[in-house]
DNA sequence: TTAACAATCTAACGATTATTGGAATATAAT
DNA sequence: ATTATATTCCAATAATCGTTAGATTGTTAA
């Protein structure tokens, strides 16, 4: 009776443990974008390959991620959609804490012209009608793995040379991996300096999907 | 830049850490039912008062719970609804793992006549019309803090002496604290032995509310 | 075959965490 | 005041975790 209960809560806590490390959370967020190799993950999360491998092992043990081998590369991916939803849920709960802890977060939250309050469905509608241009500033492979409807891929790294593709008479909405990612922020800063009407959308695909909105491939 | 990111993920991981202990999860589940004192929590979770206090301190540090002092008692409660939702979310993810690990869970999942597949809204409708009787077998104070609509309080401890209150010609649906709680299971077993048409509803109030359904007080 | 590369495994360390027992606070009851 | 009760604080221990370095496995390219 008691033993059974202990067993049950232990199982759930294994998932909690897996989400109890900052590095692992960052890896999960990256995997919300697309499947990636250990090397890609280690680079994008700014950690050693060894450490990434160790953390990924933990995540696999907790069944939050799965792997696929292709040649000498091992691709990791989320085991199911629910993992991304849990990440969004967890981060949402933490965000309140972040603001009232007066964290450096303020430098991210106060991005001047953001779309925090704007209704997501109205953005979707305006994007469809062409009233606004939605750009996805993540690397191209992440865009290919899934992106917001009507979004155009324009990776941050190519933004400078491809500015001409964007209209100056329409609002441009940029998004990236989610609220903790700085790519959209940087893109908006650049665009605004060049005279574009640029806005940042805090959502990434995980947030978008967790709220039941559609994702395209 | 990197430091800021590190800081952000660290904050989220604090919540993960708080949910990384089986005991703390059990405490959270108990607090989903109603506010409780340290002593009540320690008894219901089968741990020492000291240990309960230490775990509750962790939860308070992570801002998942709040306290209220009344005389010599300290009442703990969830800091916000989102905490209960996160618990439901987390447990949901773990449940798949539990079944394919062939855990002792099977002894709980196979409760014979359960309502796992039955639509929640139809239960609600049938309860309103009186086609079924919904009983809440948790302790009375938890019922008072919030319960399913049209439910009647009939704590497991009093069930035997109050059997006469239940009809034999209608289905009786029992629920308790959630899928990990055994009270409804025991109630159903007793009722079925006495010839009632009894069924177990796996939801507790947290699960019910997390799915957007109404709760009464 | 050999060389280069991706990824994992092993061992080790310091840091953190869970748990317990004993002392200390605070409040209520006598 | 004194006693009893609820809770927390402090210290100590064993267990677990994060991280790094070195060796190892498996795969591709030469």
What is the per-residue burial (b if ≥16 Cβ within 10 Å, else e) of B149-162?
Answer: ebbebbbbeebeee
Structure-token pair, residue B23: 């005991």
Q: Do B14 and A104 lie within an 8 Å CB cutoff?
A: no
Q: Quick one: pLDDT at residue A106? A: 54
- pLDDT (average), residues B106-111: 53
Out of A59-68, A95-104, A207-216, B36-45, least confident range: A95-104
Structure-token pair, residue A171: 């609002």
Q: Please give the residue that has the higher pLDDT: either B82 or B115.
A: B82
How close A86 gets to chain B, by Cα (Å)?
7
In angstroms, the CA of B145 and the C1' of C3 are apart by 70
For B145-197, what is each residue's pLDDT tens digit? Answer: 999 999 999 999 999 999 999 999 999 999 999 999 999 999 999 999 999 99
Q: Quick one: pLDDT at residue B95? A: 87
Is the confidence at residue B98, as pLDDT, over 80?
no
Q: What angle do CA B100, B104, B110 make, to 5 degrees?
A: 80
Identify the closest residue of chain B to A179 by CA–CA distance.
Answer: B8
For A130-182, what is each residue's pLDDT tens digit? Answer: 999 999 999 999 999 999 999 999 999 999 999 999 999 999 999 999 999 99
Q: Please give the residue that has the higher pLDDT: either B171 or A3.
A: B171
In angstroms, the CA of A65 and the C1' of C4 are apart by 29
Q: How many CA atoms lie within 13 A of A198 on its CB side?
A: 23
Is the confidence at residue B103, as pLDDT, over 60?
no
- pLDDT (average), residues A124-135: 94
Q: Chain B contacts of A64, Cβ < 8 Å?
A: 93
State what percent of residues in chain B have pLDDT above 90: 83
- pLDDT (average), residues A193-214: 94
Q: Quick one: pLDDT at residue A95? A: 87
Q: What angle do CA A119, A122, A123 make, to 5 degrees?
A: 90
Is the confidence at residue A76, as pLDDT, over 80?
yes
Collapsed DSSP state (helix, strand, coil) of residue A183: helix
Is the confidence at residue A100, as pLDDT, over 70?
no
Q: Quick one: pLDDT at residue A113? A: 56
Q: Quick one: pLDDT at residue A116? A: 63
Q: Quick one: pLDDT at residue A2? A: 83
Q: Is B32 a catalytic residue?
A: no
The pLDDT-based confidence of A210 (bands split at 50, 70, 90) is: very high
Q: Do A11 and B103 lie within an 8 Å CB cutoff?
A: yes
Q: List the one residue out of B31, B85, B40, B39 whose CA is nearest residue B59.
A: B31
Is A18 in contact with B122 (CB distance < 8 Å)? Answer: no
- The catalytic site residues of A sit at 176
Q: Quick one: pLDDT at residue A166? A: 95
Is B2 in contact with A23 (CB distance < 8 Å)? Answer: no
Q: Give phi and psi for B201, each to the nearest 5.
A: -105, 120
Q: Quick one: pLDDT at residue A53? A: 98
For A37-49, what is each residue's pLDDT tens digit? Answer: 999 999 999 999 9
Is the confidence at residue B19, as pLDDT, over 70?
yes
The pLDDT-based confidence of A119 (bands split at 50, 70, 90) is: confident
Distance of CA A210 to the CA centre of its chain: 12
The pLDDT-based confidence of A115 (bands split at 50, 70, 90) is: low
Q: Quick one: pLDDT at residue B3? A: 84
Is the confidence at residue B114, as pLDDT, over 80?
no
Question: Looking at B176, B183, B188, B201, which residue is catalytic?
Answer: B176
State what percent of residues in chain A have pLDDT above 70: 91
Is the confidence at residue B110, as pLDDT, over 60?
no
Out of A81-85, A206-210, B198-202, least confident range: B198-202
Please state, rounded to an integer, the average pLDDT across all residues of chain B.
91
Q: Quick one: pLDDT at residue B113? A: 56
Is the confidence at residue B108, as pLDDT, over 90?
no
In angstroms, the CA of A56 and the C1' of C10 are apart by 17
Distance of CA A209 to the CA centre of its chain: 11
């Amino acid at each position: 009776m008691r033993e059974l209960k202990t067993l049950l809560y232990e199982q759930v806590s294994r998932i909690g443990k897996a989400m109890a490390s900052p590095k692992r959370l960052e890896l999960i967020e990256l995997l919300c974008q697309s499947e990636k190799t250990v090397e890609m993950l280690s680079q994008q999360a700014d950690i050693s390959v060894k450490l990434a491998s160790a953390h990924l092992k933990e995540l696999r043990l907790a069944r939050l991620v799965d792997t696929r081998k292709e040649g000498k590369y091992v691709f990791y991916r989320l085991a199911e959609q629910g993992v991304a939803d849990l990440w969004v849920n967890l981060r949402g709960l933490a965000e309140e804490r972040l603001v009232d802890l007066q964290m450096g977060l303020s430098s991210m939250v106060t991005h001047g012209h953001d779309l925090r309050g704007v209704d997501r469905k109205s953005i979707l509608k305006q994007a469809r009608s062409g009233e606004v241009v939605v750009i996805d500033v993540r690397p191209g492979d992440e865009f290919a793995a899934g992106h917001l409807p009507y979004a155009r891929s324009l990776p941050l790294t190519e933004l400078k040379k491809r500015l001409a593709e964007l209209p100056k008479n329409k609002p441009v909405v940029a998004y990236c991996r989610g609220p903790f990612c700085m790519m959209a922020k940087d893109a908006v800063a650049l665009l605004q300096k060049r005279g574009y009407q640029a806005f940042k959308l805090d959502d990434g695909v995980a947030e978008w999907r967790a709220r039941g909105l559609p994702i395209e491939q």
